[in-house]
Amino acid sequence: MSENKDNFKPYIPADKVTPELTVTSVIIGCLLSVIFGAANAYLGLRVGMTISASIPAAVISMGVIRIIMRRDSLLENNMVQTIGSAGESLAAGIIFTMPAMFLWAKEGVTEKPGMLTIFLIALFGGILGVLFMVPLRNALIVQEHGVLPYPEGTACAEVLLAGEEGGSSAKAVFVGMGIAGVLKFIVDGLKVVPGTIAAPIKALKTEISAEVYPALMAVGYICGLKISAYLLAGAVLGWFVLIPAIVTFGGATVIYPGTDTIANIYAAGGAGSIWSNYIRYIGAGMVAAGGIISLIKSLPLIGKTFMSSIKGIKSAGKGGTLRTEQEMDFRVVVGGIVLVTLAIWLFPDIPVTLLGAIIMVIFGFFFGSVASRMVGLVGSSNNPISGMAIATLLFSTMILKFSGDTGAHGMIGAISIGTIICIIAAMAGDTSQDLKTGFILGATPKKQQYGELIGAFVAALTIGGVLVLLDKAWGFGTAELSAPQATLMKMIVEGVMDGNLPWSLVFIGIFAAVVVEILGIPVLPVAIGLYLPLELSTTIMVGGVIRWFVDKKKERTEKRKQAEKEKSENKNDDSGKGVLFCSGMIAGEGLVGIILAILAVTGVADKINMSDAVNTGVIGGTILLIVMIISISLVALSGEKDGQS
């Protein structure tokens, strides 16, 4: 895919018309939008990370349309992944901020957001994310072809083009879903195996721990060894440096926000209580600083992107008559943006003033355009949504405070603005990746843009129910659903409005981020590792080590078989099948998590709880970890064999 824009020819010519936005593609796409949206919501609320659903959705689509329905329609498959991936992007945007409102409701600050409020905020953010990307398509996707690689979008196109292998690849996704679903049910449904295995290290006054959940190991495999190692580095800094130091030197001292001596806090709750009272605030400062540092480093890119955006607006609506150049009418785009902005201001269910709505539009277009170019360069996994949300919250909260909009109303208004900005950035990044896939394949841009809107609508319609269900079953901010980003956003807004943050701890985190940046190490993954509990990073690291082992084995195999290197470019390599299997594991655990939440709310969960009768303890947890390691390794290595056949 190295052609420049002048000599590039799509796979399906512009003069050829094939099915795209069909009833079949809409139904399957909407179903996957709901599934991956719910799964990503659950995963993000547990560990603060989400996955891209484009490739898994494309593979499942090929498995259903090509294998089961026996229809050969490349652009129809592309439309399914376009609609389906919108669900996970919208979920990623909303879970990073919206749960803060639920946390405030528990504290009596305000009431819980209603289903209508969640739906409207999600819908309006999703619509704006798609509409803001429309005038940028020509500037970023067409004019920059060969310059901006859009890794996920290009990879998704390659997967779709390698459609003859869709059956085996789809099988990997479904097998992953099944295995993870069973393991999740054993741990959190039957509860015969503990969710966390831990061992105290008394000499260091800390502990080593790991969670027994397939999604965490799958995340590590997808992210790879380097990112997993950065996460673990942050965890090691927190649990093996800071916690021992605090306990050793704290002694009989009372340090805010703790209300008792360090010694008593440690004696009552161990290393975990020190983490919850102190380390997470240091981590919050480090995450906030990391987000802002990433934005500062991107300033030249941001400036270039903004100028491209202005040029894109000027040339919008002037597309050619070719099918592959047809886009949504620019008048519809502008009218839609104006109507959504007014609706955000006028709907009483969204607590945003006119000033807040204006801030939202300005920041939304700005960060939406930045996200579109950023994912084109470094992929959706590195889309700095958290950093954008932090910057937006700091700026909007200060403006609202200075304008007199303080207290609960001002805080909810700030979170609402931040939520919409998060969704816009996530949706703009996803839309640009999908449009890149369509550009390579020869899809009709206008139909893809409508597909994105359909996916956003369906995801917005269901995400509120998912949030309410999960909150009712376990509650946000608990061990089951820590909602790390939302907790951080809540702390930032409260800190600006009320000044009640333990600023000394926050500034320790800020300067720790500066040190990490000086060392040339990416700040955000290290900061997230510090901010999250140790047991999450440990299991993620195991997945990263598996990925490293599989990749190394592939490299050795390729060196031995240089003559077959051309044949190996069928895109069904080891990491490809392993990534699909792990994507299925994440989706499977997320879906079973939603089912268990329903059982908890209805009272059935207590009836299937077998922890009193059977409790395998550390041995059972260790066995499940080994089962997960073997499962991922076998599937990934079988993918390598397929690639050599």
Round to whole Å and give the CA distance between 369 and 148: 14
Give the Å distances, CA to CA, from 210 to 63, 79, 198, 254, 480: 35, 39, 6, 30, 14
pLDDT above 90 (res 625): yes
Task: Give 199's strand partners.
Answer: 208
pLDDT above 90 (res 82): yes
Give the Å distances, CA to CA, from 214 to 20, 178, 557: 35, 11, 28
pLDDT above 80 (res 104): yes
- Mean pLDDT on 431-451: 93
- Mean pLDDT on 174-179: 89
| Banded pLDDT at 501 (limits 50, 70, 90) | confident
What pLDDT, in 10s, does the model give residues 447-490?
999 999 999 999 999 999 999 999 999 899 887 888 888 888 88
Please state the pTM of the whole predicted model: 0.78
CA-wise closest residue to 427 among 131, 29, 55: 131
CA-wise closest residue to 471 among 64, 81, 202, 103: 103
In a 3-state reduction of DSSP, which class is residue 452?
Answer: helix
Please confirm whether the linkage preceding 149 is cis (ω < 30° from 0).
no
| Banded pLDDT at 644 (limits 50, 70, 90) | very low
- Mean pLDDT on 212-234: 90
Q: Residue type at 325? A: E
In a 3-state reduction of DSSP, which class is residue 382?
Answer: helix
What pLDDT, in 10s, does the model give residues 344-383?
999 887 878 788 788 788 888 888 877 787 777 656 655 6
Q: What percent of the chain has pLDDT above 70? A: 87
**pLDDT, position 4:** 58
The distance in angstroms from the start CA to the end CA of the chain is 24
- Mean pLDDT on 236-251: 94
